[in-house]
A and B are shown apart, each in its own frame.
Chain A
Amino acid sequence: MGWEEVQVRGYPEFVRTAQRYHGRPIFALFCGDKDAEGRSWCPDCVTAEPVVRKELHNLPDESVFIYCLVGDRAYWKDPNNEFRRNLKLTGVPTLLKYGTPQKLVEEECFKAELVRMLFTED
């Protein structure tokens, strides 16, 4: 069946989407919001996104790739935001395999080898 991508914005939409695909491998990339020109306030996210997208073809069949915009910079900086509190995210960008301790944070997302490893190892 291959893999599919879903784009969401904000915590509640992320949770609903993850629940909808329960049972399938779910990978998620969390990035800062983009402005009208499509540029994120988070420079590391700008660097990481193309690297991650280039490796998506390595996703296992049936996977779901959730591309999630977390919010604006002020929301992200708040130490109590839902992503930090509930998903234990510590930085953006974060690329993770949902439901496992496997994740890549910030500069780790720049490395194609690591992204590929996250998508293909069990």
Chain B
Amino acid sequence: ILLLHTCVKCVSLPEKVKIVEVGPRDGLQNEKTMVPTETKINLIDMLSASGLPVIEATSFVSPKWVPQMADQVEVMKGIDRKPGVSYPVLTPNLKGFQAAIKAGASEVAIFGAASELFSKKNINCSVDESLQRFDEVMKAAKEFGVPVRGYVSCVLGCPYEGKVAPEKVAHVAKRLYSMGCYEISLGDTIGVGTPGSMSKMLEAVSREVPVNALAVHCHDTYGQALANILVALQMGISVVDSSVAGLGGCPYAQGASGNVATEDVVYMLHGLGIQTGVDLSKLMDAGAFICRTLNRKTNSKVAQATCKL
């Protein structure tokens, strides 16, 4: 039985994993250095060439709040869209949605928090209220036939509330799914999760939302991201969010890392024999490019290692 048990681990992994590259939006949004439009476009084009199937391009949020994303329209219009690749954009409200459509967006994303306190502190309203605000976006998206991705933040812990109940995460995920989101990305926003809390949370959520509509968005602030992703894969998840070069620090822990590095995720997946469609060396080129421009070291260990095999 022990032999069978150990075989379960290798049997239950997906054959293919879809990587959702969030570097140009989630990553750059959390970088202090302002990046010129041309650089952003270049980065996205390099990422498109690496084989990534989904690249979060920009955010149609007010430049007053997120100056880094002020050039949203130019970026959207300037990138070379590779056929077969999706370029979702964040749309915090109807106005943002309309601007996004006008700029040529064909996929959008909305978000909700699994923590009431986090919701209050960030957007000054309760979780339910925030989801209601997205009703109009969902309606408009349906009219235009635009798919919508839902993000849930603080799924494994909140900087203000501490522990977050898995049932609460399931509740928010279920709401987003029933509103019409085709995929729900579960975010460990402050990176505190471990394989223990990840599996408990996924157990609760997968009772409400089909597992093939779920994705994980792990932060590597405590070094747990890859271990958490592995557990998620073992539970049937086959969509993983990550950021080239691990762009985007943690806004709650100054100087600490945030997003998990796409290079490190791809390295692990390929090592597991899982297909991603991504060319790791082209991806590393993109990472090297953006780090040079930002004048910072990469957060990817694969990129850092110079070991020749």
Is the A/B pair a real complex? Answer: no
